[in-house]
Structure 1
Amino acid sequence: MAIVNNMTSNERPAVRKGEQTRAAILDVALEVAARDGLEGVTIGILADRLSMSKSGVFSHFGSREELLIATLKEYEVRFLADILKPAVTEPRGLLRLKAILGNWFTRLGHENEQGCLYISGGVEYDDRPGPVRDELVGMIEGWEKELERAIRQSIETGELREDTPVDLVIFELYGLALGFHHSARLMARNNGSDMIRQVFERILNQYQRVA
């Protein structure tokens, strides 16, 4: 029994170091992906940035495909933490829905100089079948389900009309995000943050229940 305990104790620092190294790799991978897209993320670039060997980076993921999927998963964790976690302090219903949308578009504004992986990844992988595209599609579907849940809760609280077309509202909101990204990134316009809030308020106002 003592031998087993000693082995467990000795292994823990190595496990923690491995987790820290993996986290550091993903931090850099996210930076590269935000600037150069997912296609810019390679084992060699990460090895150079982290002063590691390629085999050292490779050992944490096994393949470039696994690296890209892990990068997407880490992006999703941070995306949801920034948007949903602060919003749940608001009561269920329209206040929470508006908080979620406000947090989402605030994050888009912060990502203006680099880009949103949901959007840029969609452009890169919209016609490229495979596990990376599948992961990205699943993430976006998951995000749409969070929007759907918040909209339906607003219907349940009576703040939005029962006939609110949930799928259409999600489509409009996603289109708004894409339009903002295009305006800020391609057209280099700096008035998008103010306009985006006006538009999403307008979208929601047309479905609010009149007292």
Structure 2
Amino acid sequence: MSTKRKLGMKDLYVAKVIKNTSTEYVCETPQKLCRAIKAKIKTKKGSEKLYSDSEVEDIINQFDSCEVELEGDHLSTEMIALLNGATLKNGVLIDNVDDEGSEVAIMFRDKRANGKYEFQCLFCGKFGEEDDDEHETATDKVKGQTKTIKGTFYGRKLDGDYRLRIFEDELVSENDTDAKSIIERWFNEVPSQKPITVK
């Protein structure tokens, strides 16, 4: 049996969130963000211990945020304007102190050794917290530079969901129709369907 180890992330897409309310979640059509190199996703939760009878009665964990760091080959001016809120006009990109990046969803997939993919979508977040821009002189040894962006993601207002994941190699049941349908439309639209809870 082939291993399920991850081999390579690819197809990093972004979509602008145009409606994020308690009754509606709508995104624009996803666009390719850049050529993907690496993604770090860290979910942060606050933890509180409850004591009674001089011992720990329970531990309550509460979602705080999902910190995302993406590394790619480069960002186009259109993507910089979308993520950082910069103004792009007639080929000129202007950064302003009052810039505010758009709320976005991100999507990507990661190939496993068995040939199947892991799909991930983060529904709501913003980038632009840190925007390092490094430049180096050329030397006798070629060194390619990459672009890293950091953002914070959170639950959508509709239902509190902040991430959707599908593991293609685990879709073995005829009841896995939700996941299969989402995969068929992956990158054409941000999945908004809420999968059935597994009991």
TM-score range, shorter chain: under 0.3
- Tell me: higher relative CO, structure 1 or 2? Use CA pairs within 8 A at least 6 residues apart: 2
Structure with the higher fraction of residues in strand conformation: 2
TM-score under structure 2 normalisation?
0.25
Structure with the higher fraction of residues in helix conformation: 1
